Amino acid sequence: MSSSPSSGTISGAIGGDPPRRRQARSAATREALLDAALSEFAAHGFEGASTRSIAAAAGTHQPQINYHFESKDELWRAAVDHLFAQLDAAVTRHLRAMPAPTDQRERFACSVRAFVRAAAELPELNRIMVQEATIDSDRLTWIVRHHTRHRFEALTAEWHRLRSDGAVADIDDVVLYYSLVGAASLPYVNAPEARLLGHDTLDRGFIDAHADALVTLFLGEAVR
Amino acid sequence: MSSSPSSGTISGAIGGDPPRRRQARSAATREALLDAALSEFAAHGFEGASTRSIAAAAGTHQPQINYHFESKDELWRAAVDHLFAQLDAAVTRHLRAMPAPTDQRERFACSVRAFVRAAAELPELNRIMVQEATIDSDRLTWIVRHHTRHRFEALTAEWHRLRSDGAVADIDDVVLYYSLVGAASLPYVNAPEARLLGHDTLDRGFIDAHADALVTLFLGEAVR
DNA sequence: GTCTATAATTAGATAGAC
DNA sequence: GTCTATCTAATTATAGAC
């Protein structure tokens, strides 16, 4: 709104860029910080991840974090929001790529397969969840309120319906929730350990075998 | 071996205590540091846990860590060794408390139940594992070499035998390993989240239902 | 908006008295 | 063996030039 853009010079200071350019670069910096924050928080935990290394991984400088986000804490919240949005998008995409289910049990099977594939694509999500769910904190309270409670309630309610109909084994809803999420996510959360043990859990063949196995285990042989 | 113990005075400096007392207190400090280290590392991760808070939780001072252990890193190793020893002890204890299995499949079922109970008793173990298995590091290499590789190989080999005999579902060994460990541990790793969701996964009733459910899921209805 | 420089705090580790 | 005091380096956050 104020400066006189002596454009042309691309290198050096950005003070001379037109407002459009500035905004584009600002948005890019923000995005890069979010992505870098996700890997760093997933790898080292909130307290173990430093804002310096996040900024470095994003190709910018540390004070940018306090400019684009108010604090390390706010950066974490924004990154987690971003990650759950990616989860929803991935699950929806995988569901759309499957033949439409014909009954409730098949629908649950599709959800399981879609969740397994999304968990493999986004290991950061379950890594962050498992690090935060481990001890009471403001971050845990926030994540439960904003992201996990409604997912937990939707999944347990769906299982409860199947159970009432006698369509599945008689297993408690909460037991089912944690067993399923744990079984679906650990191969990807612990992928670096699996590699040291000589196995590539991020291989397409593994992911498909894993998804099939969970459907068989939780819903029985009958579901395709 | 050297000093002249002017015993009697209990309070104040311990310089006057006899050698026996000194040794006993030293061992107690070491133990307290190990226990405190476990909860702090499990709660905040290696990098997030501070030696100051560990020492405070152990009721002693921070430099004691460098005296009793060489460094924060060595303290971590000692704590993890201690924890896996506790795991073996817990599993053995739970196995002994069960009726002896009569065939290989029942033996696997007993192992599953014993592991679930041990996982509930020692949530720190799987919390630390999941934090360390998430990214390559010297600590991960060390923990795989010293603690998880032989457990992984024993469990996958046992499943492989059952599978060859047609006694269980045809599920890949590695898929089975991570699905089972994930399903068995997440309710206890994430116990604080479960509490916020209104459920106490550390309740005896939950643990038993969980163990029964996993036996049903992985081995079928037939196994008691 | 982005940068450099720096303030204020906290980290792990060490020195030395007792 | 345990304590207090302290060193060096790293942390998050802020100030101010451009």
Residue B62 pLDDT greater than 90, yes or no: yes
Report, as an integer, the average pLDDT of B171-187: 98
Q: Half-sphere exposure of A115 toward its Cβ, with a 13 Å CA cutoff?
A: 19
- Nearest-by-CA chain A residue for B216: A169
CA distances A27 to A30, A73, A121, A183, Å, are: 5, 20, 24, 37
Question: Which of A135, A176, A189 has the CB atom closest to B130's CB atom?
Answer: A189
- Blockwise average pLDDT, block size 10, chain A, 224 residues: 35 57 86 97 98 97 97 98 98 98 96 98 98 98 98 98 96 98 98 98 98 97 73
- Which tens digit of pLDDT belongs to each residue from B146-164? 999 999 999 999 999 999 9
Contact A186, B182 (CB under 8 A): yes
CB neighbours of A103 closer than 8 A, spacing ≥ 6?
none
Whether the pLDDT of residue B2 is over 60: the answer is no
In chain B, % of residues over pLDDT 70:
92
pTM of the model: 0.93
B195 interaction partners in chain A (CB closer than 8 Å) = 136
Candidates B147, B168, B178, B204, partner chain A, best to mutate (most A CBs within 10 A): B178
Q: Which residues contact B135 (CB under 8 A, 6 or more apart)?
A: A43, A44, A192
Tell me which chain B residue has its CA closest to the CA of residue A171. Answer: B213
Task: Identify the H or E element spanning A37.
Answer: helix A19-48
From chain B, the residues in CB contact with A194 under 8 A are: 174, 178
